[in-house]
Amino acid sequence: MRRQRKPTFAAMDICRALGIPHGTLNSWGHHGWFRGLDAEKTTPGRARQFTLEDLFRLALTKALVELGLPAARSQPFALFAVNAINQHAGAHITEVSLFTYPDGSEEMRFNEELMTTPVTPGAVSRVTIFPAEIVRAMKARLGVE
C-alpha cells in the first residue's frame, strides 16, 4: 500500500499566497521560521516544498508578527492554533484569541468559548486572528477556490 503524499507548493506559490517577496521567505528560513515545518527537511539539489499546513502556519505567524507579537512567540502560537484547528476538523474555527497575563501565562480561546466561558481576570493583552479570512486571502492570491 502506497502512502498518500501531501500536496506541496513551491516557494514561488508560497510567496504569492502570503503576499511576500522571495527574499522575505528566504530570510524567514534563515531566522528559523521553518523549524518544525515539513519544508524544513530539504534534499540537496531539489527545491524546498511546502505543505498546506506549512503555508497556514507561516500565514498565521506572519499575521501575528504584523499584529506586533515577536516571531519567537508567534510561531508556537501558530503551531498550537493549527493543531487545534486540525483536531476540530469537522468544526469551522472562525476566531482564535490569545490572552496574556502579567505572570507570563497565556490562554487561548476558540469561537464560542470566547463568548460562553469567562476569561481569567487580569489579561493584559488579547490578540485575535480570523483563520478563515487568512485562508480566503491565500486562496485568492493562489487563484484557488
Confidence of residue 2 (pLDDT cuts 50, 70, 90): low
Element spanning 110, H or E:
strand 106-110
Largest CA distance in the chain: 53
**Considering the domain boundaries, does residue 3 fall inside one?**
no
Kindly report the number of other CB atoms within 10 A of residue 122's CB atom.
10
CA dihedral in degrees (116, 90, 145, 128; nearest 10)? Answer: 30
Give the length of the chain.
145
**Considering the domain boundaries, does residue 98 fall inside one?**
yes
Q: What is the pLDDT of residues 106-141, one digit of tens each?
A: 888 887 777 788 888 898 888 888 887 887 787 788
pLDDT for position 91: 61
pLDDT for position 102: 93
Q: Tell me how many domains the chain contains.
A: 1
pLDDT for position 89: 62
- The residues, any chain, with a CB within 8 Å of residue 24's CB and separated by 6 or more, are 15
Q: What is the pLDDT of residues 36-92, one digit of tens each?
A: 888 888 888 888 899 888 988 899 889 888 888 888 888 888 888 887 777 766 567
**Considering the domain boundaries, does residue 138 fall inside one?**
yes
- The residues, any chain, with a CB within 8 Å of residue 124's CB and separated by 6 or more, are 100, 101, 102
pLDDT for position 5: 65
pLDDT for position 15: 93
Question: Which residue range forms the structural domain that includes residue 64?
Answer: 8-142
**Considering the domain boundaries, does residue 1 fall inside one?**
no
CATH of the domain at 113: 1.10.1660.10
Number of helices (H) and strands (E), helices first, in the chain? 6, 5
Output DSSP code: residue 91.
S
**Considering the domain boundaries, does residue 2 fall inside one?**
no
Confidence of residue 13 (pLDDT cuts 50, 70, 90): very high
